């Protein structure tokens, strides 16, 4: 098993001109092409924003995100929202692209970037309705996303990729339960 990456030494920056990504290589031609050529255009045209993980000023991973809306089936709505008024679509932030440079794969960097976006989605949800982080996962990466808490969207089975979601409301509640914001009250005598 490769050594865990020292993620505390990563700097996350939004992609902007001046950040050199020409040499980024994750062994996937589409994703290499995206980061080297398309990501700047997507950012400028407000189609997706890309965040780069820099280690010693070198880009070693990136995650690209945009807004999304997902349609849930009856059962999923019932499980997730109980008796709430059902909606046609539910708002979210989509992980549009994710890649770690080949030498650093399987060391926890990809998981770190997904968690970074979950944190961003939670912050955004205080200002704009946002309930899920979504992804159309490569079938080969299903285990990676289920490990992070994503589940398959039952109603969306089209295409080669697997439509998935993570409920940030539930995720946040679990984190709050695990890390109470208030210290426990002192015991009375």
Ligand X SMILES: CC(C)(COP(=O)(O)OP(=O)(O)OC[C@H]1O[C@@H](n2cnc3c(N)ncnc32)[C@H](O)[C@@H]1OP(=O)(O)O)[C@@H](O)C(=O)NCCC(=O)NCCS
* Residue 138 contacts ligand X per CB under 6 A: yes
Give the nearest residue (CB) to ligand X: 110
Q: Which residue of 48, 64, 76, 107 would you call a contact of ligand X, by CB under 6 A?
A: 107
- Of 41-49, 84-92, 106-114, 120-128, the window that binds ligand X (rule: CB under 6 A) is 106-114
Question: Strands, DSSP E only, in the chain?
Answer: 11-14, 49-55, 58-70, 90-100, 132-137, 151-152, 162-167
Residues 30-89 that bind ligand X (CB under 6 A): 31
Q: From the CB of 143, what's the least distance to ligand X, in Å?
A: 5
DSSP state of 147: H
How far apart (Å, rounded) are the C-alpha atoms in residues 145 and 164? 8
Q: Does 108 bind ligand X (CB under 6 A)?
A: yes
Q: Residues with Cβ < 8 Å from 69, sequence gap 6 or more?
A: 89, 90, 91, 92
Number of H helices, E strands in the chain: 6, 7
Tokens of 129: 């309705």
Using CB under 6 A as the binding rule, whether residue 155 contacts ligand X is answered as: no
**In the complex, what is the shortest distance from the CB of residue 184 to ligand X, in angstroms, rounded to a whole number?**
30
Q: Is 137 in the site for ligand X (CB under 6 A)?
A: yes
99 binds ligand X (CB under 6 A): yes
Q: What are phi and psi of 96, to 5 degrees?
A: -80, -35
- Closest CB 166 distance from ligand X, rounded Å: 14
């Amino acid at each position: 098993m490769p050594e865990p990456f020292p993620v505390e030494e990563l700097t996350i920056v939004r992609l902007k001109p001046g950040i050199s990504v020409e040499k980024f290589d994750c062994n996937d031609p589409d994703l290499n092409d995206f980061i080297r050529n398309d990501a700047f255009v997507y950012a400028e045209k407000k189609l997706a924003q890309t965040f780069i993980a820099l280690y010693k000023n070198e880009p070693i991973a990136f995650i690209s995100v945009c807004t999304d809306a997902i349609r849930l089936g009856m059962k999923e709505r019932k499980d997730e929202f109980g008796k709430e008024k059902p909606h046609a679509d539910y708002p979210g932030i989509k992980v549009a692209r994710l890649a770690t440079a080949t030498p650093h794969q399987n060391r926890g960097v990809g998981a770190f970037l997904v968690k970074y976006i979950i944190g961003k989605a939670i912050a955004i949800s205080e200002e704009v309705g946002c309930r899920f982080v979504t992804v159309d996962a490569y079938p080969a990466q299903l285990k990676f996303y289920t490990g992070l808490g994503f589940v398959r969207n039952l109603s969306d089975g089209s295409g080669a990729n697997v439509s998935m979601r993570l409920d940030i409301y539930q995720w946040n509640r679990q984190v709050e339960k695990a890390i109470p914001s208030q210290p426990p009250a002192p015991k009375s005598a």
